[in-house]
Amino acid sequence: MPTISKIKILDDSDLRTEIDNIYEKTDQVSLAKWAIKCAKNLLTCLPDENIDLSVIEIGFEINKRWQVGKASVHEVRQAGFKIHELARACSTEVTKNAIRTAGQAVGVGHMREHAMVCADYAIKTIGLAFHKDLNRIKAERIWQLETLKMIIASEGFNR
């Protein structure tokens, strides 16, 4: 069953649907790897707000440990909460949404559904950063799709 975006975004619905179809057949660890790549890609869009991003790096590391069974779901959730707390303290919408992307990526270790929410927050961030430029939004969705396919090919897993 296709997912529905939980946030309001301007999007390329055909590409989102294609990603969603692959997402539905992909294991949670591969989705976590993909979501972290999506978030890291977005963090390059951050305006300079002088924010300490170490809480995000710690969250990524906890998620990577979860992927190999060395961190608990509780640890992943707590790391995600800390990242969302950081997002609430940001002064620009671009930064808030880029950091929320990272929080959702970390949260994939808790629930696989966070992967599509992460991808959607990435699209929202691109829309905000580039004034709803559909070409940029489409380029981000294409990057997400190709990155997900690459991870699945390298992992050798797709149900």
pLDDT tens string 74-111: 999 999 999 999 999 999 999 999 999 999 999 999 99
Count how many domains the chain has: 1
pLDDT at 124 over 80: yes
d(CA 130, CA 120): 15
For 1-30, how does the pLDDT look when each residue is reduced to its tens digit (9 = 90+)?
Answer: 689 999 999 999 999 999 999 999 999 999
* Confidence check: pLDDT of 158 > 60: no
- Is residue 3 in a domain? no
Inside any domain, residue 1? no
Radius of gyration of the chain (CA): 15
pLDDT at position 49 is 74
The 3-state DSSP class for residue 12 equals coil
Alpha carbon distances (Å) from 89 to 69, 97, 126, 130 = 32, 11, 20, 22
Q: Do residues 10 and 127 touch, judged by C-beta distance below 8 A? A: yes
Residue 90 lies in a domain: yes
Does the pLDDT at position 31 exceed 60? yes
**pLDDT recorded at residue 159:** 47
pTM metric for this prediction: 0.95
pLDDT tier, 155 (very low <50, low <70, confident <90, very high otherwise)? confident
What does the angle CA 109 – CA 102 – CA 83 come to, to the nearest 5 degrees? 90
- 126 belongs to a structural domain: yes
Q: What is the DSSP-derived secondary structure letter of residue 89? A: T
Domain that holds residue 55: 13-157
CA 95 – CA 34 distance, rounded (Å): 20
Instruction: Give the start-end residues of each E strand in 32-154.
Output: none
Largest CA distance in the chain: 42
Position 7 in a domain: no
- pLDDT score for 156: 67
Q: Residue 77 domain-assigned?
A: yes
Query: Residue 157: is its pLDDT beyond 60?
Result: no
